[in-house]
Structure 1
Amino acid sequence: MSQTKRKRTTTLAGEEVTYEVARSDDATRPRIDAGIDGITVVLPTTVEDDPETILNRNVEWVLEKKTKFDRYRDEIPDRTFEAGEQFPFFGEDHELVVEPRQKSEVVDGMIRLRKSAVEQSSVERALRNFYRREARSYFTDRLDHFGDKTGLEYDGIEIRNQRTRWGSCSTSGTISLNWRLLLAPPEVIDYVVVHELAHLQEPNHTDAFWRLVGEQIPEYEEHAAWLEENSTQLVFSEDDL
């Protein structure tokens, strides 16, 4: 999604709120995104709606999300990116090890990074590259699995690091998934995968959309709630904020 952002400040119900305005080629209608990184009013490139008017129409929701994510920021893991530190992988903590080996992989419950990869960059970058590689492989497998079950065909996959979204589905059929989902439990990943696949058939969050999701993931509400409540645990570094 192509976006140009501008930061602004307004007052909602007596409380100062800083937010960003983003212009998006993919957006079909104005919306408000709320996350750990803050509040964003997303506008289609062809729409001239006033962002403050949109915020004021949703003032209670905006302030509720702001309070929640202000609290979440205090819960973000303080990562040092050193050997011996614990990092999530499929929802379970794994000790980080740096050692001479052919490739970085998970062995015996540990994330074992290739020493030469760390020496060529850093622990943080080598670990990020490991996650992205594993994410592409695993997410593709799950998309193919649920695509076969539902008969829904996607055009391609992009591995991204969206700050406010775990996934998206373009009008051309390309599904983008956030590599940091690999830190979450497998059932949560499956929920996001099916959610985005369902958009191939139902672009909006209609009753038909949720029925389609529920046919494959009956506990989807539980997994969506997990993502909302545990999003801080999926923060990899300050670059994600």
Structure 2
Amino acid sequence: MAKSQSQTIDLPGNDVEFEVRNSSEATKARIDVDIHGVTVVVPDFAEIQPTEVLRENAAWVIEKQRGFEEYRENIPDRTFEAGETFPLLGTERELIIEPSQSHTITDTSIRLRKSTVEQSTVKQVLENTYRRKAREHFSERADLYAERMGIEYEKIEIRNQRTKWGSCSTTGTISLNWRLMMAPPDVVDYIVVHELAHLREPNHSSEFWSLVAEYDPEYEAHSDWLTEHSSRLIFSEEDL
């Protein structure tokens, strides 16, 4: 799909930058709005004016764009320096870099081994530490809830999906986003229960939500927390 250079259009008092993408798969024009900007997708060989499509949907475009602008404003401005705080299971912990034999985590700090950081970067070592803790914690919680729910799963995979917190394959693999380790424990448990429930109920049916509610009665509040605070779980600009 070929994409044009960025253009600008005035939509009721708002200068909106957009790009045009031609698609052989598209059957009708559509507008994609995400944190990276606005794109008008038009079918190949169709006589469609992207500006007209934007004007017809101006209110929706402006609303979506403002939502993403607010989202971006709430993303933590991380410098990855000693003394900065990072959340782990909902608790802010001070980042400390010190000569030591290994990385350690306490109730108030994340302590990284200085020699390891010097061979890499603070950001990379910190991410690796989160990923390692994620595998331990997610596996522990999945084992606990799988036994309670009478459900078997194949394995846990740690990923960094940009738009998903978790997913479940038909083969029983539960994939969970390591950045969930920055969320409160109850929110992590909700995602674990959610994905395990899919092994019994593939769709978001009433039976599925009843199963989730049985093991997480406050699942709606936990889901709302993720919707409201997901920007706080952005680790760096590379996650966008």
Same fold (TM over 0.5): yes
Amino acid at match of 1:220: Y
Quote the Cα distance in structure 1 between the aligned partners of 2:181 and 2:21.
Answer: 28
Q: Is the 2:17–2:38 contact (alpha carbons within 8 Å) kept by the matching residues of 1?
A: no
Query: Structure 1 runs of 4+ off > 2 angstroms?
Result: 5-9, 13-21, 33-40, 59-70
Output one character per residue of 1:140-190: Cα deviation in whole Å (capped at 9) or x when no partner. Answer: 000000000001111111100000000000111101000000000000000
SS at match of 2:110: strand
Give the match for residue 143 of structure 2. Answer: 144
Amino acid at match of 1:71: E
Quote the Cα distance in structure 1 between the aligned partners of 2:63 and 2:93.
Answer: 34
Quote the Cα distance in structure 2 between the aligned partners of 1:235 and 1:101.
Answer: 28
State the shift of 1:39 in Å.
Answer: 8.7
1:177 matched to 2:165? The reply is no
Give the match for residue 82 of structure 1. Answer: 81
1:224 matched to 2:186? The reply is no
Output one character per residue of 1:23-75: Cα deviation in whole Å (capped at 9) or x when no partner. Answer: xxxxxxxxxx98756799xxxxxxxxxxxxxxx9xx89887555423211111
Quote the Cα distance in structure 2 between the aligned partners of 1:115 and 1:102.
Answer: 9
Q: Is the 2:17–2:37 contact (alpha carbons within 8 Å) kept by the matching residues of 1?
A: no
Quote the Cα distance in structure 2 between the aligned partners of 1:206 and 1:63.
Answer: 33
Q: Is the 2:93–2:107 contact (alpha carbons within 8 Å) kept by the matching residues of 1?
A: no
State the shift of 1:104 in Å.
Answer: 1.2
Note closer, same or farther for the CA distance 1:20–1:157 as it changes in structure 2 (3 Å cut): farther
Give the match for residue 113 of structure 1. Answer: 112
Q: Unaligned stretches of 5+ in structure 1?
A: 22-32, 41-55
Give the match for residue 68 of structure 2. Answer: 69
SS at match of 1:84: coil
Structure with the greater alpha carbon radius of gyration: 2
Amino acid at match of 1:237: S
Number of aligned pairs?
A: 211
Quote the Cα distance in structure 2 between the aligned partners of 1:184 and 1:20.
Answer: 36
SS at match of 1:205: coil
Note closer, same or farther for the CA distance 1:129–1:216 as it changes in structure 2 (3 Å cut): same
1:193 matched to 2:154? The reply is no
Among the aligned pairs, what percent are the same residue?
A: 57
State the shift of 1:103 in Å.
Answer: 1.7
Q: Is the 1:37–1:163 contact (alpha carbons within 8 Å) kept by the matching residues of 2?
A: no
